[in-house]
Amino acid sequence: MDEEITGGRVPFWREWLEHPTYDTFWKTLTHRGTFDRIDVPILQQGGWYDPYAGGIFRSWNGMVQGGKSERARHNQKVIMGPWTHSEPVSSRVGEIDFGPSAQVVFPELELPWFDYWLKGLETGIMDEPPIKLFVMGRNEWRYENEWPLARTRFRPFYCTAAGAPTRSTATASCRRSRRRPSRRTVSTMTRRTRFSP
């Protein structure tokens, strides 16, 4: 598959595939369970279409709740935009155009952070709430203080025999399965995007 996507062999990716479960290989690479040993401010950035978006928020929460020092716990930031895993080159992801505010230059986002922490310059970045989110659909940025958002209302969804989502358990027919996921791709409005190692 790596040769198909990238045109060549990707050794580290092939090594990952040799470890399909959370075994010793992965445990030596993870920071899970080590937040109490991390004593630095961290700026994380990612995209809603990034396969690591969930990990960014788990890491942010891990540091805010369990970082080694008060300095580390109180100086965590996240920027989450309408992007894939790659740096955005336009305001588009697949077939969706999120408007001009979605197109950013990462160094411009990072500079106030690094100027503050590495040069001691007052840039105002630490006066902002810790999370900056792009709200898709409204196509605007918003600041938040926690994740998940305190006003989140979690709602269960089920699927009908045709695979459509439903809120009703009476019309649900799909059951959770422990089968491996299908190799078929899932169509989305951004089906032209692709993550490659």
Distance CA(148)–CA(175), nearest Å, equals 27
Distance CA(132)–CA(79), nearest Å, equals 5
Instruction: Answer yes or no: is 195 within a domain.
Output: no
87 confidence band (pLDDT: 50, 70, 90): confident
Q: How many CB atoms lie within 10 A of CB 80?
A: 22
Residue 129 phi, psi dihedral angles, 5° rounding: -55, 160
| Domain count across the chain | 1
Instruction: Answer yes or no: is 98 within a domain.
Output: yes
Decide if 125 contacts 112 (C-beta within 8 A).
yes
What's the CATH number where 52 sits?
A: 3.40.50.1820
Instruction: Answer yes or no: is 84 within a domain.
Output: yes
Structure tokens at 118: 């590495």
Q: Which pTM was predicted?
A: 0.76
- The range of the structural domain enclosing residue 149 comes to 2-153
Distance CA(165)–CA(172), nearest Å, equals 8
Instruction: Answer yes or no: is 188 within a domain.
Output: no
Total count of residues recorded for the chain: 197
Instruction: Answer yes or no: is 112 within a domain.
Output: yes
pLDDT in tens, 107-160: 998 999 999 999 999 999 999 999 999 999 999 999 999 999 999 999 888 888
pLDDT in tens, 33-62: 899 999 999 999 999 999 899 999 999 999
Instruction: Answer yes or no: is 117 within a domain.
Output: yes
Decide if 95 contacts 190 (C-beta within 8 A).
yes
Instruction: Answer yes or no: is 106 within a domain.
Output: yes
Instruction: Answer yes or no: is 55 within a domain.
Output: yes
The residue assigned the tokens 């993550």 is 195
